[in-house]
Amino acid sequence: MKILLCFGTRPEAIKMAPLYHKLKKENFEVIVCVTAQHREMLDQVLDFFEIKPDFDLDLMQANQSLNSLSALILSKIDGVLRETNPDLVLVHGDTTTSSMVALAAFHLGIKVAHVEAGLRTYNKMAPFPEEINRQITSRLVDIHFTPTAEATQNLLNEGILKEDIIKTGNTVIDALLWTTNKIEKNDYYHPEIEMLKGKITKNKKIALVTGHRRENFELGLENLCEALLEISQREDVLIIYPVHLNPNVKKTVYDLLSDKKNILLIPPVSYPVFVWLMKQSFLIVTDSGGIQEEAPSLGKPVIVTREVSERPEGITAGFSTLVGTDKGKIINTIQEILNNFKGFENYINPYGSGDASEKIIDFLLNKIRK
């Protein structure tokens, strides 16, 4: 059976990597196509997970509009699909790559499966454009691999047939556990990790921060930075902020937080380094979806700087707190965790236990190959 994996961003690559290796192990014919929607960050992940793409569309351009990117993906993937003629295309999550590849495959009558299907906020502007990408993809694909019962129910509510939905957990936990096992080995060495070890004071609580959502640009990001400035006055805290490459993010963060006491601004780090940073952290402040999924497995509380989340399971279980971009809420929630958090009683991650790829492979072996 010939399977084409298509992805374009670092999060997609991380979450597809364990699936890629398990497909190869089970002797599927696996073809990888990357759109390189994120170039530099994608390449880091491909190198770490030892994935060599068969097709690299290299579509990233400076200040690229969503419409321009969508048109390029739709146009360029057409040739790949016609040349490879796969039995099944696998797309992931909520990117422009996923929705446009699914549309192109649909136009050619090629079956598509969606990994991490069914996540919803039902607010088309949050996250933007990811929410609509997810909904478009769900209407186009043939098989839906959902991470949770809530995601499954979302699809059932939308009229997707039960027999086309398979709950697997999230493959990001597979990738996380694979990575922690690798970086914890005595012979593992990474220069970025060694550099960071020299900058981290052992008696400080690390607040790890990320932020990149379009809906948080300008005022939302400014509020976050002002809140971090307030927190940085505490002598027991070190804020570490790997700053996203997007110029809309980079300028604001560096203008407001450069050369401030107890704040360490660093360039984006590779995936193994970020996992290492998560393990060192006391808490994480983020608008990322993947981090909300990963952090419970590491026992780290997450403050989510978004108004809505398509990952409510972590919030319901108490692993995450939704604060939006209100400066006061961010400050108060960080202070509360710094002062009172003693660890989680329940370490069961609602997003999976690390066997999502196996469940996807089992389905493909038992259902599709027959």
Specify whether 158 is located in the same domain as 198. no
- Is the pLDDT score of 370 beyond 60? no
Domain count, the chain: 2
Does 185 fall in a domain?
A: no
pLDDT of residue 247: 81
For residue 223, give the CATH number of its domain.
Answer: 3.40.50.2000
d(CA 94, CA 128): 10
* Mean pLDDT to the nearest integer, 179-191: 94
Catalytic residue list: 94, 116, 130, 212, 214, 244
Contacts of 27 (CB under 8 A, 6+ apart): none
Q: Are the C-beta atoms of 231 and 257 separated by less than 8 Å?
A: no
Specify whether 328 is located in the same domain as 294. yes
259 pLDDT tier (thresholds 50, 70, 90): very high
* Mean pLDDT to the nearest integer, 106-113: 98
Number of other residues whose CB lies within 10 A of the CB of residue 72: 19
330 pLDDT tier (thresholds 50, 70, 90): very high
Specify whether 120 is located in the same domain as 214. no
- Is the pLDDT score of 217 beyond 70? no
Contacts of 307 (CB under 8 A, 6+ apart): 126, 215, 322, 324, 325
Q: Render 136-203 in DSSP notation, one character per residue.
A: HHHHH-SEEEESSHHHHHHHHHTT--GGGEEE---HHHHHHHHHHHHHTSTT---HHHHHHHTT--TT
Specify whether 320 is located in the same domain as 219. yes
* Mean pLDDT to the nearest integer, 289-317: 95
Specify whether 326 is located in the same domain as 359. no
pLDDT of residue 201: 83
Specify whether 165 is located in the same domain as 290. no
- Is the pLDDT score of 219 beyond 60? yes
Specify whether 207 is located in the same domain as 325. yes
Does 201 fall in a domain?
A: yes
Expressed as residue numbers, the domain containing 317 is 191-340
Specify whether 360 is located in the same domain as 326. no
Does 179 fall in a domain?
A: no
Specify whether 17 is located in the same domain as 99. yes
pLDDT of residue 60: 84
Specify whether 20 is located in the same domain as 73. yes
* Mean pLDDT to the nearest integer, 299-318: 95
Specify whether 287 is located in the same domain as 261. yes
Does 346 fall in a domain?
A: no
Does 31 fall in a domain?
A: yes
Specify whether 161 is located in the same domain as 93. yes
